[in-house]
Structures are given as structure tokens and as C-alpha cells.
């Protein structure tokens, strides 16, 4: 059974991503992405339609030649 993200949880996760991106710290961005994806998976949530925003934030925070981390495999 899949649960849907409630609006408060989604807003909290989106705000955490925005704060992490605004710091410019790749470690904070990666930690936020991993935490959020783990919440989606462990809570058996349906991923939001814009889940790719977390992937883009992670990709943009890493050097161009770093191996890509696919968040669907976290």
C-alpha cells in the first residue's frame, strides 16, 4: 500500500532542499536528498511528481566529472 505525502511533509521537505541549495554546500545538499528519499521509501510514500528537482539539485551540486548518484537507487 502506498501512502501519499501530506502537504505539510512535502512543504517541509521542499523547504529543506531550498535551504540546502542556498547554502551551496554539496554535503548538505546530498544529506538532504538522501534523507528525503529515505523518508519517501521507508514511509512507503508515493514520490511527488517533481521528484526530479531533488535529482537536479544533487547533480548541480557535484563536480561535472563526479560519478552520478541516481536517487531512485538510494
Q: Which residues contact 44 (CB under 8 A, 6 or more apart)?
A: 1, 2, 3
What's residue 15's pLDDT?
Answer: 98
pTM: 0.90
Boundaries of every domain in the chain: 3-73
Q: CA-to-CA distance for 59 and 45, rounded, in angstroms?
A: 23
- 8-51 pLDDT, tens per residue? 999 999 999 999 999 999 999 999 999 999 999 998 788 999 99
Q: For position 6, what pLDDT does the model report?
A: 86
Q: Are 68 and 59 within 8 A, CB to CB?
A: yes
For 50-65, write each residue's pLDDT tens digit. 999 999 999 999 999 9
Amino acid at each position: 500500500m502506498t501512502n501519499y505525502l501530506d502537504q505539510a511533509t512535502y512543504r517541509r521537505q521542499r523547504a529543506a532542499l531550498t535551504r540546502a541549495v542556498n547554502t551551496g554546500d554539496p554535503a548538505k545538499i546530498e544529506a538532504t536528498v538522501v534523507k528525503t528519499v529515505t523518508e519517501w521509501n521507508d514511509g512507503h510514500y508515493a514520490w511527488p511528481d517533481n521528484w526530479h528537482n531533488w535529482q537536479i539539485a544533487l547533480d548541480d551540486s557535484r563536480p561535472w566529472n563526479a560519478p552520478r548518484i541516481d536517487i531512485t537507487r538510494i
